Amino acid sequence: MSNAPKEKITAIRIALIAMLTAVVVVFTLIVRVPTPIKGYISLCDVAIVFSAYLFGPWVGAIAGGLGTGIADLLGGYAQWAPLSFLIHGLQGLLIGLIAHRKSSKKSPMDVFFFRLLFGGIVGIVVMSGGYYLAGGILYGFKAALTELPLNLLQSAVGSVVGILASHAVLKAYPPARYLAF
């Protein structure tokens, strides 16, 4: 998405990561719908997808993993914190890598649609599959299967809303793309 030269980590980028990590925590905690095997669904994927698409794989990975891990610790789901850190961190990383692959076209939005779609699908698979495996290990695969539709719904809604939000921010404030790394 960004054709800006890759720079070192700056104070602005550190602040951006911290702010987006906090946004992921809030989006994770503000709406929590309990699920059958001692988990919950939330709006965290909206913030993770937004972060990864707009600001790149490292922001998506750190904000997604750290934000959901902290939210699990704060929200009373400590057993899920390391799993959320890994699953959502990988989700943010892969979405960001797909979205920010170099392109020969000048306008990032010209080629971005298929990357958004593919990145969203990869994010859905990573998140839903990761929680299915984690739930299966913790509570049994039959029990984890009951949560799969809820996780698919959470990640699909998060992908759509995150894509729309990142597109709106880029349209309103194009220089935001230069913070990506």
- CATH number of the CATH domain containing 107: 1.10.1760.20
pLDDT of residue 5: 46
| Residue 51 domain-assigned (yes or no) | yes
**Ordered mean pLDDT values, 10 residues apiece, the chain (181 residues):** 58 94 98 87 96 94 98 94 97 94 58 82 97 93 94 96 93 86 80
| Residue 119 domain-assigned (yes or no) | yes
| Residue 2 domain-assigned (yes or no) | no
pLDDT of residue 100: 82
| Residue 116 domain-assigned (yes or no) | yes
pLDDT of residue 1: 45
The parent domain of residue 90 ranges over 11-179
| Residue 143 domain-assigned (yes or no) | yes
pLDDT of residue 10: 86
Task: Cite the DSSP H helix spans in the chain.
Answer: 11-30, 44-55, 57-74, 81-99, 108-139, 141-172
Cα 181 to Cα 12: distance, rounded to the nearest angstrom: 12
pLDDT of residue 174: 87
| Residue 1 domain-assigned (yes or no) | no
At 78, give phi and psi (nearest 5°): -60, -30
Cα 162 to Cα 38: distance, rounded to the nearest angstrom: 26
Domains held by the chain: number = 1
Cα 181 to Cα 179: distance, rounded to the nearest angstrom: 7
| Residue 144 domain-assigned (yes or no) | yes
| Residue 3 domain-assigned (yes or no) | no
